[in-house]
Amino acid sequence: MTLLELFRNIRPYARPYRGLIALTLGMTCVASFTAQVNAWVLRHTVDSISSLVAAHKSLIDGLPLLTAISAILVGTEIINVLISFGQKYSGEKLRILLSRDMAQSVIERVLTYRLAFHSVDENQPGRLQTRIDRGVESLARLVQNFFIDILPMFASAAVALAMMFQANFYVGLTAFCIVPVYYCVSRTQAARMAGSRRMIKRLRENKSQGILGILESMPVIKSFLREDIEESKQLSLQDALTDTQMRIRKTSFLFDGMKSFMEQIGAVAIILLTTYFVLTGSMSVGAIMFHLLLFNNVTAPIRRLHLLYDQMNDALIYAEGFFEVLHADAQVEESGTYIPPRVEGRFTLRGVDFTYPANATPTLRGIDMDIEPGRITALVGLSGAGKSTLINLLDKFYQPDSGEILLDGVSLRDYDTRALRANIGLVLQKNHIFPGSVAENILYGKPSATREEVMEAARCAFLHDQIMALPLGYESPAAKLSGGQQQKIALARMFLKNPPIVFLDEPTASLDAVAAEQIKLGMDAIKKDRTVIIISHSISQIIDADSIYVMRDGRIVEHGTHRELFNSGGEYHDIFAAMARSLNMDKIARTLDRA
């Protein structure tokens, strides 16, 4: 990203604060002149006192001069303090407001992206979070520093240089010559450090992702006693980060030394030149101080030029990643315009192929299916066969590479995505629980629902009595509930949403037998008059289905009713028999017979 592109990208965010920026610029203008007052006063003081001394005047004769100088210096300082406060306050305000706006817009944007965006490696949560945080921080800080640091200093330098030229062309020219040399050194410094900065950015993203991974996997790490492996993985990332940071610092200090040396050479040149003019009678003694102080004002921003470069490079590098996230237009979820008056729930799939963006090989191949409305369809198959992927496509989380998916005769592509999902309920094996109370979590299914409706939904999911037994009832933190209870929250959410189409992806896999039975009863209630697609490894749920599709390696290999498929002795027969054996059905049957 070039600097121009960077400013073009920031401009829309700065536009609402034009008034604030104009105020800051006004203050900068005043400050650039007040910054030169000291040099002017010093010259005047030295020259006036020199002439008083030459004329053998007493202290009393110098009093009016001293009073005037004191008044000017104190007055200027009061203005400087006020302006400096104003600049810092408005700069900080600008930074805070810009950070807020940028962070909000990136979140709003990411919420519109399709799931495929999140499935690629570089957009894993830790990496994405670092990219967003660092991007917002460095961009907002660049804008802030530009207005409270960089711009005032450069304005003051320009005025100081103009005054030097005006006082003496040759001294002005000498001061001016140092600027391009400084600029070249700063540029070289920035170029040397750019590669390392990019590496730091990548390492920081990896580090955040690593920390997030450790925190999320704590029980597994501990149970496998793998603390040392995780420590050393993190340590090698930290080491790489430290090395790169040290390399950057070393380069930075080296160039700082060079610049400081050149500045001193410039100061010596000014002293020699002004002394020459003083000795040849074309300048007063006060002009030496005058020019030296002005030269100091000229070099002050240049001395900090590398900081500007640092910040700009940081901003450029982090902005690249940040604006990539913000402008990933191709990732915005597609939506058609069709809003169905009523959804019946008939899915038709013809020749559907699908490959995950992160994968090389297809996950679904040539899928043909007819899912009848108001019926229960089960998807059966070994792990990794593609059952959940199929549901992801029916929910329009991903688009097929080829083939077509129709709902009630209309292509899913033509559906308004929000209208489509409003008609679909999804219960997964592990359902997400948001931070907050049980009531808030159930309300996620229908935010406008009354407390009565929430309780009714919880009753349907066999959860109400358990919640009421908790000291805080529906206000209990949902994250503290057991896995089974959290699963029931997901079912209650679904009851509250009350959609005509329901996808159940192994909804009882993480439950105990009693909870599974209760949830089965809850699901039986859900299934009534709805189109249900269920993925399950539970015999009891599969044999209830009106129609069963058997999948293997991303293909549909069998289709029929339970009896038809079982009698055909194919893949379904084998899976079903294995399920029955795993349940030890013979022994269970004998036990029940004896009872």
> Would you tell me which residues interact with ligand ATP (CB under 6 A)?
119, 356, 358-359, 363, 381, 383-389
Which residue's CB is nearer to ligand ATP, number 135 or number 381? 381
Which residue's CB is nearer to ligand ATP, number 53 or number 358? 358
Which residue's CB is nearer to ligand ATP, number 110 or number 300? 110
Closest approach, Cβ 554 to ligand ATP, in A, equals 7
Closest CA to 377 of 500, 503, 532: 532
Q: How far, in Å, CA of 521 to CA of 569, rounded?
A: 30
Q: How far, in Å, CA of 354 to CA of 558, rounded?
A: 19
Which residue's CB is nearer to ligand ATP, number 381 or number 507? 381
Q: Within 10 Å of residue 419's Cβ, how many Cβ atoms?
A: 15
Closest approach, Cβ 118 to ligand ATP, in A, equals 8
The number of residues in the chain equals: 595
Q: How far, in Å, CA of 527 to CA of 503, rounded?
A: 10
Which residue's CB is nearer to ligand ATP, number 450 or number 540? 540
Closest CA to 102 of 315, 307, 310: 315
Q: How far, in Å, CA of 87 to CA of 97, rounded?
A: 15
Q: How far, in Å, CA of 243 to CA of 236, rounded?
A: 11
The helix/strand/coil state of 592 is helix
Which residue has 């949902």 as its token pair?
Answer: 478
DSSP string, 79-137: HHHHHHHHHHHHHHHHHHHHHHHHHHHHHHHHTTB-HHHHHSGGGSHHHHHHHHHHHHH
Q: How far, in Å, CA of 234 to CA of 214, rounded?
A: 9
Q: Which backbone phi and psi does 69 adopt, to 5 degrees?
A: -60, -45
**Cα distances (Å, whole numbers) of residue 32 to 2, 26, 147, 298:** 29, 10, 13, 11
**Encoded tokens for 482:** 């057991």
Which residue's CB is nearer to ligand ATP, number 336 or number 403? 403
The helix/strand/coil state of 405 is strand
Closest approach, Cβ 543 to ligand ATP, in A, equals 18
Which residue has 């907050």 as its token pair?
Answer: 436
Which residue's CB is nearer to ligand ATP, number 145 or number 547? 547
Which residue's CB is nearer to ligand ATP, number 351 or number 384? 384
Closest CA to 537 of 356, 385, 371: 385
Q: Which backbone phi and psi does 171 adopt, to 5 degrees?
A: -65, -40
Which residue's CB is nearer to ligand ATP, number 138 or number 389? 389
Which residue's CB is nearer to ligand ATP, number 381 or number 500? 381
**Cα distances (Å, whole numbers) of residue 483 to 425, 480, 507:** 20, 9, 11
Helix (H) or strand (E) holding 72: helix 59-110
Q: Within 10 Å of residue 488's Cβ, how many Cβ atoms?
A: 29
Closest approach, Cβ 266 to ligand ATP, in A, equals 60
Closest approach, Cβ 435 to ligand ATP, in A, equals 24
Closest approach, Cβ 385 to ligand ATP, in A, equals 4
Closest approach, Cβ 451 to ligand ATP, in A, equals 36
Closest approach, Cβ 383 to ligand ATP, in A, equals 3
Which residue's CB is nearer to ligand ATP, number 388 or number 437? 388
Which residue's CB is nearer to ligand ATP, number 387 or number 527? 387
Closest approach, Cβ 432 to ligand ATP, in A, equals 16
Closest approach, Cβ 388 to ligand ATP, in A, equals 3
Closest approach, Cβ 386 to ligand ATP, in A, equals 5
Query: Pairing relation of β-strands 501-505 and 531-535?
Result: parallel
Q: How far, in Å, CA of 29 to CA of 39, rounded?
A: 18
Closest approach, Cβ 540 to ligand ATP, in A, equals 17
Closest CA to 296 of 188, 175, 392: 175
